[in-house]
Amino acid sequence: MSEVTSLDNPALGELCEQLARLSPGLDAPGEWPAEQLQMCGEAGVFRWFAPEAWGGWAWSEEQLLRGYIRLAEACLTTTFVITQRMGAVGRILAGDSQFARETLLPDLVAGHTFATVGISHLTTSRQHETKPVLRAEETANGFVLEGYSPWVTGASAAQHIVLGGTLASGDQILVALPTDLPGVKIEAPPPLVALSASQTGSVQLRQVQVERRWLLAGPTPQVMKQGAARTGGLQTSALAVGLASAAIDYLERQAEQRVGLASPAAALAEERDELTRDLIEHAAGRPGCSADELRTRANSLALRSTQAALVAAKGAGYVAGHAAGRWCREALFFLVWSCPQPVAEANLCELAGLGFGGEQQA
């Protein structure tokens, strides 16, 4: 696999072709995109995200978003796994532990090891429960962790999980948890509506002792809102646009032979192009609207364009194995993945026919 050193490098097209060719196979039970991730590693995809000091190519936000859109169009599952991997890398890079950086980053950037994140219980998951689901207690040498992280993608493939915990005071920490520590139990991932090959499930922690050298951030209130460890990027929207693009391309190809499909395909393509422009402008520091508004539009476009592809594919698209049916299932993911409350509310309003903002439509 040749290295994808820039967006106009033909190697990106070759990588995407390979990912698209392999992506239907990921729908089978028990799959994990090992081959796809290896191809991405060999193509230098993990170097896009890292600074030059750590062997990376330090792509700009704009380049990264465009790269994510291309990859997601080819294979959403692999690209989603990459986001979780890069989420972990980003937090290790920005964290307080030089030890973690020096120990983990060279192999992660080169694609030799895998890391992931278990942080949703600090922000979106289990917020209605009275007690934090993953509790941390400070000791002389570090922290003891007890409880569980409900959602961790690819935990069984990971040597480290960037994991959040909450102390009795309410302060939170982030650690780069070695998965081979005593007391760490990776549960068998449940089958999902789509993206099952992301091998996402819960990780249990029973009196797990983590040394202080693995502490990336905290203890502090709302650790996910601190410094470079913030959540709420544009990448989730980029992935939704990528999936929508796969469906719109299919619709456009069908429209070449079927007159009735031409104007819906053109309208969706125009909406995709406008949303892509707005995302890129936002990434370049010229936001025309909020990141939540972009995500709301991206979710809506992913849902509508994949269902439009199913309409065009008709009954054949409803047979298991057809890409249109898979895209529809994959689009549902964006309704639940790292979905901020205002976005969830706007999507609900749209589904209820109230428009994005809750205003009654004519």
Ligand X SMILES: Cc1cc2nc3c(=O)[nH]c(=O)nc-3n(C[C@H](O)[C@H](O)[C@H](O)COP(=O)(O)OP(=O)(O)OC[C@H]3O[C@@H](n4cnc5c(N)ncnc54)[C@H](O)[C@@H]3O)c2cc1C
* Least distance to ligand X, CB of residue 80, Å: 7
Q: In this chain, which stretch among 10-18, 31-39, 146-154, 275-283 interacts with ligand X, using CB under 6 A?
A: 146-154
Residue 15 CA to its chain's centroid (Å): 19
For the segment 250-309, give every residue that binds ligand X (CB under 6 A).
none
Q: In this chain, which stretch among 29-37, 120-128, 215-223, 294-302 interacts with ligand X, using CB under 6 A?
A: 120-128
Indicate the residue among 63 and 156 with the shorter CB distance to ligand X: 156
Indicate the residue among 128 and 286 with the shorter CB distance to ligand X: 128
Number of helices followed by number of strands (H, E) in the chain: 10, 8
Token pair listed for 190: 């449940």
Task: Determine, following the binding rule CB under 6 A, whether residue 128 of this chain makes contact with ligand X.
Answer: yes
Of 338, 346, 349, 350, the residue at the interface with ligand X (CB under 6 A) is: 338
* Least distance to ligand X, CB of residue 191, Å: 11
Within 10 A of 359 (CB to CB), how many other CB atoms are there?
9
For the segment 184-243, give every residue that binds ligand X (CB under 6 A).
192, 195, 198, 200
Indicate the residue among 72 and 261 with the shorter CB distance to ligand X: 72
259 contacts: CB under 8 Å, gap ≥ 6: none
* Least distance to ligand X, CB of residue 333, Å: 6
Indicate the residue among 141 and 341 with the shorter CB distance to ligand X: 341
Task: Determine, following the binding rule CB under 6 A, whether residue 125 of this chain makes contact with ligand X.
Answer: yes
156-to-32, 76, 178, 320 alpha-carbon distances in Å: 10, 20, 12, 28
Of 126, 135, 212, 225, the residue at the interface with ligand X (CB under 6 A) is: 126
Residue pair 39/19 in contact (Cβ under 8 Å)? The answer is yes
Of 23, 79, 97, 116, the residue at the interface with ligand X (CB under 6 A) is: 116
Indicate the residue among 300 and 338 with the shorter CB distance to ligand X: 338
Q: In this chain, which stretch among 124-132, 173-181, 246-254, 274-282 interacts with ligand X, using CB under 6 A?
A: 124-132
* Least distance to ligand X, CB of residue 123, Å: 7
Task: Determine, following the binding rule CB under 6 A, whether residue 179 of this chain makes contact with ligand X.
Answer: no
Within 10 A of 8 (CB to CB), how many other CB atoms are there?
7
Q: Running DSSP on this structure, what letter comes out for residue 322?
A: -
Separation CA 262–CA 272 (nearest Å): 15
Instruction: Mark residues 147-176: x for contact with ligand X by CB under 6 A, - for none.
Output: ---xxxx-----------------------
Indicate the residue among 265 and 343 with the shorter CB distance to ligand X: 343
Indicate the residue among 176 and 269 with the shorter CB distance to ligand X: 176
H or E stretch covering 62: helix 61-74
Of 15, 261, 337, 343, the residue at the interface with ligand X (CB under 6 A) is: 337
Indicate the residue among 50 and 197 with the shorter CB distance to ligand X: 197
**DSSP per residue, 255-280:** HTT-GGGHHHHHHHHHHHHHHHHHHH
Residues 54-79 as b/e (b if ≥16 CB within 10 A, e otherwise) read bebbebebbbbbbbbbbbbbbbbbbb
Residue pair 323/295 in contact (Cβ under 8 Å)? The answer is no
* Least distance to ligand X, CB of residue 81, Å: 9
For the segment 56-95, give every residue that binds ligand X (CB under 6 A).
84
Within 10 A of 360 (CB to CB), how many other CB atoms are there?
9
| Phi-psi sector, 249: left (phi>0), alpha (psi -120 to 50), beta | alpha
Separation CA 97–CA 304 (nearest Å): 44
Indicate the residue among 146 and 249 with the shorter CB distance to ligand X: 146
Residues that bind ligand X (CB under 6 A): 84, 116-120, 124-128, 150-153, 192, 195, 198, 200, 336-338
